[in-house]
């Protein structure tokens, strides 16, 4: 240990513990594996973390400390300059509150792309086939199930990607292999090389003309409930919805209504408005494929994500900057 600075790990580290311990040659290491928001905040107030320069915020740490909202950011130590978050989504960190305090944040984009896109395709195919009925029936000795219905092919269907970032582009690449036509909407069109042949359309056109809609945009105040009754009303009859981004992007009761009316043929969901609660209307609807937020749940991806957090942490200590700083701060 060659510095009076410390790194604080909140929550667990599973696949790169050895690499975390090796960081002990750069700064001292502290851990807060378990506890409560109250206890964590009182330790902050009591000065227990006064030398902490960088936080490793594990993916499950929100269960320990609750969100890093204004209230919590206000008690973080003055010494803290970097938060390295394990996850591509960082909606449980108040970015503005951190920026005001001069705290830089890194997330783990790119490392999550393939695994999450694989799950989106899994959900899309499952939803197109309305797989829930035969999937459950066969294990219960009911073969294809009483309500078995035919599904649809992806071939020649229009896939609309809302949020053509890392995961959206990985979904598009995979969907092309199934013979789908790809269109997308982002706040700005991508350079042609990044769009990979996908057509840029307006938000409204994406709603009106997609056969399958894949949600791949980040959650922030402007994207909360971006898909609501008004948008479902605009969509083609029999549209398929896939959400691997964040639950609150969709107004869940509006989705339940659209499924019940038949406007939406089926949906494939990995994320929900109030995880781990799932709207009863989604659970009872056999046209919905449900997964419990497992987009990145592979051994390879979990290790890659932990290593990327540590690479950010080391960059912060050595060069006072981050490798994958969140876009809201990186563009400033």
Ligand X SMILES: NC(=O)c1ccc[n+]([C@@H]2O[C@H](COP(=O)([O-])OP(=O)(O)OC[C@H]3O[C@@H](n4cnc5c(N)ncnc54)[C@H](O)[C@@H]3O)[C@@H](O)[C@H]2O)c1
Catalytic residues: 246, 275, 293
* Shorter beta-carbon distance to ligand X: residue 185 or 279: 185
318 vs 331, which CB is nearer to ligand X?
331
CA gap 105, 102 in Å, rounded: 10
Q: How far apart are CB 218 and ligand X at their closest, in Å? A: 3
Helices (H), 197-295: 203-209, 229-234, 252-261, 280-283
Helix ranges, 33-180 (H): 37-45, 62-65, 70-73, 95-100, 113-128, 132-139, 166-176
Residue among 45, 38, 34 at smallest CA distance from 12: 34
Cβ closer to ligand X: 26 or 240? 240
**What's the token pair of residue 275?**
């995880």
CB of 196 to ligand X, least distance (A): 13
Q: Which residues contact 88 (CB under 8 A, 6 or more apart)?
A: 107, 108, 109, 111, 112, 116, 166, 167, 296
Residue 246 lies near ligand X (rule: CB under 6 A): yes
247 binds ligand X (CB under 6 A): no
Q: Which is nearer to ligand X, 285 or 296 (CB)?
A: 296
Least separation in angstroms between residue 168's CB and ligand X is 6
Let me know: does 311 contact 86? Beta carbons within 8 Å.
no
| Binding residues for ligand X, total number by CB under 6 A | 29
Question: What is the footprint of ligand X within residues 221-240 (CB under 6 A)?
Answer: 222-223
Q: Out of 109, 151, 247, 248, which residue is the one contacting ligand X (CB under 6 A)?
A: 109
Asked whether 2 and 47 are in contact (CB, 8 A), the reply is no
Between residues 109 and 126, which has the closer beta carbon with respect to ligand X? 109
Longest dimension (CA), the chain: 68
Q: Is 234 exposed, middle or buried (0-12, 13-18, 19+ CB in 10 A)?
A: middle
**For ligand X, what does the binding mask look like between residues 73 and 102, x meaning CB under 6 A?**
---------------xx-------------
Q: Out of 86, 105, 295, 322, point to the residue binding ligand X (CB under 6 A).
A: 295
> What minimum distance in Å lies between the beta carbon of 302 and ligand X?
11
Pick the binder of ligand X from 37, 293, 323, 329 (CB under 6 A). Answer: 293
Q: Please tell me the distance from the alpha carbon of residue 229 to that of residue 257, in angstroms, as a whole number.
A: 9
Instruction: Determine if 217 is a binding residue for ligand X (CB under 6 A).
Output: yes
Residue 245 makes contact with ligand X by CB under 6 A: yes
Is 302 one of the binding residues for ligand X (CB under 6 A)? no
Q: Is 117 in the site for ligand X (CB under 6 A)?
A: no
- Single out the residue of 183, 218, 287, 312 in contact with ligand X (rule: CB under 6 A): 218
Instruction: Kindly state whether residue 195 participates in binding ligand X, applying the rule CB under 6 A.
Output: no
Q: Which residues in the 149-188 window bind ligand X by CB under 6 A?
A: 162-168, 185-187
Pairwise CA distance, residues 121 & 135, whole Å: 17
From CA 160, how far away is CA 173, in angstroms rounded? 13
What is the Cα–Cα distance from 245 to 116, expressed in whole angstroms? 9
Chain residues that interact with ligand X, rule: CB under 6 A: 88-89, 109, 112, 116, 162-168, 185-187, 216-219, 222-223, 244-246, 270-271, 293, 295-296
């Amino acid at each position: 240990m060659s510095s009076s600075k410390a790194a604080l790990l909140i929550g667990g580290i599973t696949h790169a513990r050895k690499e975390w311990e090796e960081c002990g040659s750069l700064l001292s290491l502290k851990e807060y594996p378990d506890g409560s928001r109250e206890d964590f905040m009182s330790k902050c107030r009591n000065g227990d973390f006064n030398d902490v320069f960088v936080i490793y915020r594990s993916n499950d740490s929100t269960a320990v400390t609750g969100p890093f909202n204004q209230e919590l950011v206000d008690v973080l130590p003055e010494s803290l300059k970097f938060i390295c978050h394990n996850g591509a989504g960082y909606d449980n960190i108040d970015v503005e509150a951190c920026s005001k305090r001069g705290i830089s944040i890194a997330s783990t984009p790119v490392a999550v792309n393939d695994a999450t896109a694989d799950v989106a395709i899994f959900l899309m195919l499952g939803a197109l086939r309305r797989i829930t009925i035969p999937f459950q029936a066969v294990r219960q000795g009911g073969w294809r199930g009483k309500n078995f219905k035919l599904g649809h092919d992806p071939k020649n269907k229009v896939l609309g990607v809302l949020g053509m970032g890392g995961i959206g582009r990985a979904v598009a690449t995979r969907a092309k292999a199934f013979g789908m036509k790809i269109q997308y909407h982002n706040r700005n069109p991508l350079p042609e090389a990044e769009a990979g042949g996908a057509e840029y359309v307006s938000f409204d056109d994406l709603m009106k003309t997609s056969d399958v809609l894949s949600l791949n945009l980040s959650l922030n105040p402007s994207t909360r409930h971006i898909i609501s009754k008004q948008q479902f009303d605009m969509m083609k009859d029999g549209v398929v919805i896939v959400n691997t981004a964040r639950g609150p992007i969709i107004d869940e009761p509006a989705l339940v209504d659209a499924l019940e009316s038949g406007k939406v043929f089926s949906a494939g969901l990995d994320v929900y408005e109030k995880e781990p609660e799932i709207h009863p209307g989604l659970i009872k609807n056999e046209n919905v494929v449900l997964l419990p937020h497992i987009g990145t749940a592979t051994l390879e991806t979990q290790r890659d994500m932990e290593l990327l957090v540590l690479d950010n942490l080391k960059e912060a200590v050595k060069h006072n900057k981050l490798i994958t700083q969140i876009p809201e701060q990186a563009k400033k």
